[in-house]
Structure 1
Amino acid sequence: MDDKFRVVDVNKLRVPKIPWRVMVGGVLALVGLAAVAGALYQVQPEEVGVVLRFGRYVRTSDPGLHAKIPVVEEVMRVPVQRQLKHEFGFRTMDAGVRTDYAAQERQLADESVMLTGDLNVAVVEWIVQYRVADPYKFLFQVRNLDDTFRAMNEAVMRETVGDRTVTEVVTVGRQDIEGAVEDRLQTLADQYQMGITIDQVVLQDVNPPDPVKPSWDEVSQAQQQRDRLINEALAEYNSVIPRARGEAEQTVLQADGYAVDRINRAEGEAARFSAIEAAYRQAPDVTRRRLYLETMQRILPSVGRKVFVAEGATGVLPLLSLDGGARAAVAPLTGVSPQAAGGDQ
């Protein structure tokens, strides 16, 4: 046993004596390292550092490495380049490829259930995204800024939804609601000197309450069918009415053209009659004969077979070639060749 284990007498151990100067120097060195570590601080690129001295604002530090007075000064970092957001009616538990949301609780339901202008109930979920524009105002001008900002959002959203019908809130009025809420929130934030800038307000899910969803879906389907029938009727209207208008304009133009043609013809015939009358007054016999010959020239070719009987004749020979004789007799008078005079036979 004595060979395997060596017995050490504790009473014989002696603690080495460290000179007091070395101990003081070590303590001072540790204090100096702690002071240097506490005097330096790092501000990230998306942040600014708000330096307080005994709780009073002193300065704002830009991103980078800075120094401060240990113990006396403290630094509060504010993300001025990061987009912050508040969610209403839901909570995002884990954002990623598949986002997980918190289960609907009583508090979340109280945030999202609202009364519309036509005394209907709508469940409105939305997101407000904002940035810090003034770090000093963001930290010190408003007490409990997050709670105040959330209460402000709920009040503005309820006021805006209460001015619209449930159909506008659920369907066509979403963009108008987002714009109105964004403008109103920015006005209140400037009035309260919160030091933030509203980037956008986004409506997520806007639905009727679960108990009335089936009835709401039936109404929506009926409205869609009504809109479809209206669009079909408008399409038919746009295809028929322009064609009818074009045909009407064409008929009017044709009537105007016919009227102009008749007027021109009447004026020409009147001018021709006046010219003939003037000629007749100067040479009645010649004009009368010319009119007679012109009339015969127009009439005789359309008569067909013609028989000329001399005045006082008592009969006609049956073997007489009447066609050839008629053409030969009429040709000197009308100026038409025998072949043309008999062309209608």
Structure 2
Amino acid sequence: MSWDWEKLKEQQRKRDGLPPQMDEFVKKFGEFKVPGAPLLILVILLVLIGSSMFYTIRTSEVGVVQRFGKFVRTTQPGLHFKLPAGIETVKRVNVRRVMTEEFTGSVTGYATANSNITLMLTGDLNVALVPWIVQYRIKDPYHYLFKVRNVDVLLRDMSEASMRLVVGDRSIDEVISKRNEIAVESQELLQKEMDQAETGIEIVTIEMKKTDVPAPVQPSLNEVNQATQEKEQTIYQAKEEYNKAIPAARGEADRTIKAAEGYALDRINRAKGDAARFMAVYEEYVKAKDVTRRRLYLEALKELLPKLENKYIVDADQKNLLPLLNLGKQDGGIK
């Protein structure tokens, strides 16, 4: 009795659920024939090659063409031609989309898995929680793709370094109250570092979130703020008293100075007037000494006599002058 071993093996495979052997599959595929198959395959290959030679770049993108992996050129939005696939490839880079990196809490990949990237030391040796957001876009696709490996990692590292540098130069009060200034300064510093590293990234903006201090140091900070407010209030009161006292003292000083200047001017003018009168009298005296002397004598008597109560006139030529008693008590005395 002859056994059909091939038939038995086929039945065994069907029972066991095994797939057909590869050689049998290839054999059957070779037996399958379609009229004009080589021509059809050639047409399909030509269509595939032709379709890979044309590509379209959108309005928000820039095409980066590589030939065997080497950068060749960049292309602007529109329909373009390139060598077939396998020779030239195209990478489309969106240069208008604004991307975001957030620095708002713990991150991985650092010293410990619980590292808090927002925990920073300020210039006055206080600790602050400084969350922020970086928005950026790609301005140079060539630099972005080929100059730096892992641009996103570099961006995060440099953003953290820039923020820590800016915060480290300011006090805790400035970090809390002057967030806009810190954001602008850190943006300028980060952009400078990105340009120096040739990352091809433009920093659109840095937005500072609410800055605070860690919960364990919040009571101490409140005490410091209260002391600062009391200090400012005391300074304000002192300035208020100063503004009241100093202008009054200055006004009094100005009045005293003006009075002294007026008195000095009056004394000078009087002295000048007396000197002028004396010189005028002296000039007249030089011209006529007797007349001037008599006039001065008479003017002096005219000024002196009205001030005297009783006047007694005695003749200068009288030789036998009898003593007169009680001259001032006689009503009929000679006057």
TM normalised by structure 2 equals 0.66
* 1:77 matched residue in structure 2: 92
| Cα deviation, residue 279, structure 1 | 4.1
1:208 aligns with 2:222: no
Question: What is the RMSD computed on CA atoms of the aligned residues?
Answer: 3.8
Single out whichever of 51-60 and 234-243 deviates more from structure 2.
234-243
Between the aligned partners of 1:28 and 1:282, the Cα distance in structure 2 is 155
- Deviation of 1:205 (Å): 2.2
Counterpart of 1:224 in 2: which secondary structure? helix
Aligned residue type for 1:287: L
Q: Which amino acid aligns with 1:289?
A: L
Partners of 2:299 and 2:254 lie apart in 1 by 46
Q: Cα 1:309–1:243, aligned 2, differ >3 Å: closer, same or farther?
A: closer
Decide whether aligned partners of structure 1 residues 71 and 292 sit closer, same or farther in structure 2, where only a CA change above 3 A counts: same
**Alpha-carbon deviation of 1:243?**
4.1
CA contact (8 A) 1:49 1:62 kept: yes
Q: Which has the higher mean CA deviation after the structures are superposed, 151-160 or 252-261?
A: 151-160
Question: How much identity, in percent, do the aligned residues show?
Answer: 41
Deviations 1:18-68 (A, max 9, x none): x946x8887777666655654443323332111223332221011223233
Structure 1 residues without counterparts, runs of 5 or longer: 1-18, 92-105, 317-345
> CA separation of 1:57/1:278 partners in 2, compared to 1, >3 Å: closer, same or farther?
closer
2:15 corresponds to which residue? none
Q: Check conservation: 1:279, 1:287, Cα contact below 8 A.
A: no
Deviation larger for 174-183 or 204-213: 174-183
- State the secondary structure of the residue aligned to 2:130: strand
Gaps of 5+ in 2: 1-33, 107-111, 314-326
Q: Does 1:63 align with 2:77?
A: yes
Q: Give 1:220's aligned residue.
A: 225
Distance 1:250 1:81, change over 3 A: farther
Conserved in 2, the CA contact under 8 Å of 1:123 and 1:209?
Answer: yes
**Is the contact made by 1:43 and 1:62 (CA closer than 8 Å) also made in structure 2?**
yes
Query: 1:207 aligns to what SS in structure 2?
Result: coil
In structure 1, give the amino acid aligned to 2:296: T
Q: Is the 8 A contact 1:117 1:162 kept in 2?
A: yes
Shift of 1:158: 2.8
Could you report, residue by residue, the CA deviation over 1:246-291 in whole angstroms, capped at 9, with x for unpaired residues? 4312321221121121121022123323433554634122333244
CA shift for structure 1 position 145:
1.0
Count matched residues: 275
Determine if contact 2:105/2:116 at 8 Å carries over to the other structure: no
Q: Distance in 1 between matches of 2:47 and 2:310?
A: 151
Alignment partners' CA distance in 1, 2:55 and 2:225: 59
- 8 Å CA contact retained: 1:90, 1:125: yes
Rounded to whole Å, the distance in 2 between the matches of 1:232 and 1:82 is: 55
CA distance in 2, matches of 1:235, 1:67: 79
User: What TM-score, normalized to structure 1?
Assistant: 0.64
One of 68, 88, 103 as aligned partner of 2:103: 88
Counterpart of 2:140 (choices 105, 111, 134) is 134
Identify which of 269, 289, 304 aligns with 2:298. 289
| Partner in structure 2 of residue 120 of structure 1 | 126
Q: In structure 1, the residue corresponding to 2:265 is in which secondary structure?
A: helix
Please tell me whether the aligned partners of residues 49 and 77 of structure 1 are also in contact (alpha carbons under 8 angstroms): yes
Deviates more, 1:156-165 or 1:185-194: 156-165
Where 2:208 maps in the other structure, the secondary structure is: strand
Change (3 A) 1:43 1:251: farther
8 Å contact 1:112–1:123 — kept in the other structure? yes
Cα 1:44–1:234 change in 2 (3 A) is: farther
SS of 1:154's partner is helix
Provide the C-alpha distance between the structure 1 equivalents of 2:215 and 2:228, rounded to a whole number of angstroms. 20
SS in 1 for 2:85: coil
For the residue of structure 1 that corresponds to 2:149, the secondary structure is coil
Q: Deviations over 1:58-99 (max 9, x none)?
A: 2101122323344233322223344433221159xxxxxxxx
